[in-house]
Structures are given as C-alpha cells and as structure tokens.
Amino acid sequence: MTNDDDTSEEVPPAKEPAATPLFSAEELSLSDYPVVHVPEKRLYALTENARHLAEQWDGSSENFLKGLLGEFCYAKPLGKVQDIDTEVYPDGGDGGSDLSYRGATIDVKTVGQHRSDPALTVDAYKPLRADYYALASRISKTDVRLIGYAPRRFVANAPVRHHNGEPYHIVEQRYLFPFPRALL
C-alpha cells in the first residue's frame, strides 16, 4: 500500500534519485551564483564574535567566523542581518537554525575556500529542526557565494555518509534550489 497523501509528515527512507528542483543550483555557471560582500567593519565585528565563541566553546575562531559569514550573507538579502545570533549556548549549538524568514527557519552551512564544487552536508546524528538548509561558500576574506538551499525533506531523504565515525546527510548541488538573484 502506498501513501499518496502530500500532507503526510512522514519522511520515507533515503532513496535515489531524490526529488529534484525544476531548476537546480548545479545548472548555474560559477558566475551566476550570487556573491555577497561583507564590509570590513562587519568582518571585524564578526571576527570578534567568532573569537568570543571559540573562547567559550569547542571549535576554532576561524570555523566560527566561517559560519557567521555564511549566516550574514544569507541574512543580508533577506533583510535579517539584525537577527544573526552570536549568543553562546551551554551545549554549543544554536537550536538547529540560524535565521527565520517568513515563518520558516533556515540553518546555514558554510564551506571554506578549499571547496570548488561544494555539497550541502548536515549532521545526521541529531534531529533535523530547520525548515530549510542553505549552503554558502566562502570564496575570499570578505566574499561569500550563495550556492542554494533545500527543504528539510530533501535533507532527510539524502544519502548518509560517515566522516571520522560521525554520520552526515549529503545533498549534492543538483538537489539544491538556487538562491534567487532577485533578492540581491
């Protein structure tokens, strides 16, 4: 028996091929991805926040900065820069999301400059809490490329891989919706 009810909250087991956007981020040329510039003054403030986070919790200030830059660069075109959370939480986390936009929660994942064709990776050892997962790629000290985003259901259905014994979902660019340039 199959369940054709689109309102079901159940997520079927991971299977390939997963549902894909009608137009995916993979179809863009490198120059078509939106790039957001971080002003020097903002970079300085985010660097200080990252340093403070690293002093309070496990992780390097560089990794915290990379994450904060990705969050800033998604928040900026959405008009949500003031909502970036730099609070230090007892468990080191952020509750599973970084931003809220039109009632939906967004968890931004940022990769560093060493990745030329990044995929979205999301930890699989904890529950998926955000409505959307967004991928940002830091391309220079002050510039971040917005690769795309996927709804929670796409992430939940994505294959699970392991790195250093830890499971993670991997969502290739062909399953990501491109970030709309119209918002920039």
pLDDT in tens, 33-81: 999 999 999 999 999 999 988 888 888 999 999 999 999 999 999 999 8
pTM for this prediction: 0.84
| 124: enclosing H helix or E strand | none
pLDDT tens track for 111-161: 987 777 899 999 998 889 999 999 999 999 999 999 999 999 999 999 999
- Our CA angle for 164, 89, 102, nearest 5°, is 95
In a domain? residue 95: yes
pLDDT higher than 90, residue 18: no
> Region 91-112: what's the mean pLDDT?
84
In a domain? residue 17: no
In a domain? residue 5: no
User: Cα–Cα distance between 156 and 151 in angstroms, integer?
Assistant: 9
**When comparing pLDDT for 127 and 92, which is higher?**
127
In a domain? residue 92: yes
Question: In which domain, by residue range, is 86 found?
Answer: 32-183
User: Cα–Cα distance between 54 and 46 in angstroms, integer?
Assistant: 12
Total structural domains within the chain: 1
Beta strand 132-138 with 104-111 is parallel
In a domain? residue 1: no
Give CA 162 to chain center in angstroms. 19
